[in-house]
Structure 1
Amino acid sequence: MKINRRSFLKSAGVLAAGTASAPAAAAEAAAEPTPRWAMLIDLRKCIGCQACTVSCIHENAVPEDSYRTVVTTYEVASEGRVDAYMLPRLCNHCANPPCVPVCPVGATWAEPGGAVLVDNERCVGCGYCVQACPYDARFINHETQTADKCTFCLHRVEAGLLPACVESCVGGARIFGDLNEPDGDLRRAMDEAESLKVLRPEQGTAPHVFYIGLEPEFAGDVDAEPVLWDARAERR
C-alpha cells in the first residue's frame, strides 16, 4: 500500500489533534467538582408512616428486626396537650466519622462524595464501629455477621436515582442532593430554611443529615420511651 506525502501529513495532523485533545479532556474531567451528598429532613412534614423504613428494607434486603433507617415516634405532653413527635434516623454520613478509625481491618471508609460505606467481605463483625457511632445507626447483620448501615443508596444515586427512602416519602419530608450544586433542590431548601440543626452536634462529627424543626431536647440522648416500635430496642 502506497501512502503519498499529502495523505501522510493529513493523517499525521489528525493524530496530533487527537493526542492534544486527550490531556484537555483529562483536565476537564479533573476540574469537575466532587459532589458532597447530604440529606435534609423536614420534621414538619414527617407523619411517621414508616414508608421510608419499608422501602429501605426492600431496596437493600435488610434482614428481619434490623433497620437502616427508622422513624421513632414520641408522645410529648405540654400544657395539658399530648402531641406526637417524629424523629427519622439514619447514618449521618459524617465528615469526621468516628466509626472509621476504630475499624481494625479498614472495612469502613468514606467515599469522595461523603457516603460512609462498609466492605462486607473485609468486615470481621467485631462491632467496634457499632459502639463508636453516636447515632445508633449501625448494627451487626445477623445473616452476614458483618456491620450494616445506610449507604445513602449510593447504588441508586450513581444510576441517577434518589435514595429509596426519599423517593417513597409520602409527605416530601426528605430531600437528598449535592451540597456543592448551588441550584439543586437540596441547596435551595437549606438556604431557604430558617434554622438547620443536626443530631449530637457536641460530638464534632460534622454530620450530613440536617433537620428542620428539630427540638433541642431531641438533638441528643432522648430521655423518653418511643410510643411505637424502636429499632434500638428490637436489636437488644
Structure 2
Amino acid sequence: MSCSRRNFLAGSGAVIFTTGVATTSVLTSTNSDASADNTEAAKRYGMLHDENACIGCTACTEACREVNKVPEGVSRLEINRSEPMGEYPDVEYRFTRTSCQHCENPPCVYVCPTGAAYKDEETGIVDVHKEKCVGCGYCLAACPYQVRFFHPEDHSADKCNFCRDTNLAAGKQPACVESCPTKALVFGDLNDPQSTISKAITVNAVYRDKVHLGTKPKLYKVPFHKGEV
C-alpha cells in the first residue's frame, strides 16, 4: 500500500497535491493561531546554543545518534567548524549548530499532503508521524534550514525532535544537552519566564537563523564574539 502511494506521488499525481498545498497552508496556519490562543498553559520547547562555550567536541552528535538509534550516514544534528581565525598559536574556531529549528510557523508542516509532518500544540515540537509519511520529499524541499532527511531504514522523513520519544519521554533533558561537557546547550520551556532558557535568552545577546522568512525558529544562538569583529 505504502509503496504504491509513494510511486503515485513520484509520478503525475504530485501535480494534484501541489494544488492542495496552498489550501493546507492557510487552514493549518489559522488553526494553529486559534489553538495557541486557547492553550495558554501549553509548553513551547526551545533550545539555546552558546557558540562561545561550544568546543566542537561533537559529544552531542554522538549522544543523539546513540539515544535515538540514528544510522550512520545521516544525522539529526551537526556541529560545523569555521575556518581558523587568528594566527598560530592564537587560533580560534567558531562552532555552530545545525538542526531542526522547531519553527512556530513550519513550512514543512504546511506542504505535507498526508499530515505526517506536524507541530505538537502541547509542546511546540515539530515531529513526524512515520506511519503517515509516503516519502514524497515535499517537507525536505520546503525546509529552509535543510535539516530533514530520509531515514535509510524506514524510509520516512526524519530529523531532531528534541528526543521526544526517548529522553524527554523518560523525564530527562535531550541527549545533546545531557552530554555537553561545557554546558553550551540549554533546553526548556520558552513560555515559562522562570525557565533556564528564558533567563539565558534574557541575559545574553542572541540570534536566530533566517528569521526574515517568518518561520519563527525556536533554536536560539549566542553569537561567537572571539577573534576579529
Is TM (by shorter chain) over 0.5? Answer: yes
**d(CA) in 2 for partners of 1:211 and 1:200?**
12
* Matching residue of 1:182: 193
> Do structure 1's residue 103 and structure 2's residue 106 form an aligned pair?
no
Q: Tell me the amino acid that sits aligned with residue 103 of structure 1.
A: C
1:63–1:44 distance in 2 versus 1, CA, 3 Å: same
Indicate which of 169, 189, 213 corresponds to 2:180: 169
> Do structure 1's residue 209 and structure 2's residue 209 form an aligned pair?
no
* Matching residue of 1:52: 60
**d(CA) in 2 for partners of 1:159 and 1:37?**
16
C-alpha deviation, 1:76, in angstroms: 4.2
* Matching residue of 1:12: none
2:45 and 2:188 in contact (8 A); partners too: yes
How big is each residue's C-alpha offset from its partner over 1:64-115, in whole Å with a ceiling of 9 and x where there is no partner? 1100011011214468975311111110000000101111111010001110
2:52 and 2:224 in contact (8 A); partners too: no
* Matching residue of 1:62: 70
* Matching residue of 2:203: 192
1:36 and 1:180 in contact (8 A); partners too: yes
1:79–1:48 distance in 2 versus 1, CA, 3 Å: closer
What RMSD, in angstroms, separates the aligned Cα atoms of the two structures? Answer: 1.9
> Per the alignment, in what secondary structure is the counterpart of residue 48 of structure 1?
coil
* Matching residue of 2:45: 37
* Matching residue of 1:153: 163
**d(CA) in 2 for partners of 1:79 and 1:197?**
28
Alignment gaps of 5+ in structure 2: 1-37
> Per the alignment, in what secondary structure is the counterpart of residue 176 of structure 1?
strand
1:123–1:214 distance in 2 versus 1, CA, 3 Å: farther
TM-score (norm. length: structure 1):
0.73
> Per the alignment, in what secondary structure is the counterpart of residue 157 of structure 2?
strand
**d(CA) in 2 for partners of 1:83 and 1:203?**
31
How big is each residue's C-alpha offset from its partner over 1:143-190, in whole Å with a ceiling of 9 and x where there is no partner? 111100000111322432100000001110000000122222111111
Q: Tell me the amino acid that sits aligned with residue 141 of structure 2.
A: Q
How big is each residue's C-alpha offset from its partner over 1:97-142, in whole Å with a ceiling of 9 and x where there is no partner? 0101111111010001110000111101111111111111100111
* Matching residue of 2:95: 86
Higher Rg: 1
**d(CA) in 2 for partners of 1:43 and 1:209?**
13
Alignment gaps of 5+ in structure 1: 1-29, 216-236
**d(CA) in 2 for partners of 1:179 and 1:71?**
23
**d(CA) in 1 for partners of 2:106 and 2:130?**
18
Q: Tell me the amino acid that sits aligned with residue 178 of structure 1.
A: D
The number of equivalent residue pairs is: 185
**d(CA) in 1 for partners of 2:129 and 2:39?**
29
TM-score (norm. length: structure 2):
0.76
Q: Tell me the amino acid that sits aligned with residue 144 of structure 2.
A: P
Identity fraction in percent: 42
**d(CA) in 2 for partners of 1:161 and 1:96?**
26
After superposing the two structures, state which structure 1 stretch, 88-97 or 68-77, moved more. Answer: 68-77
**d(CA) in 1 for partners of 2:39 and 2:98?**
35
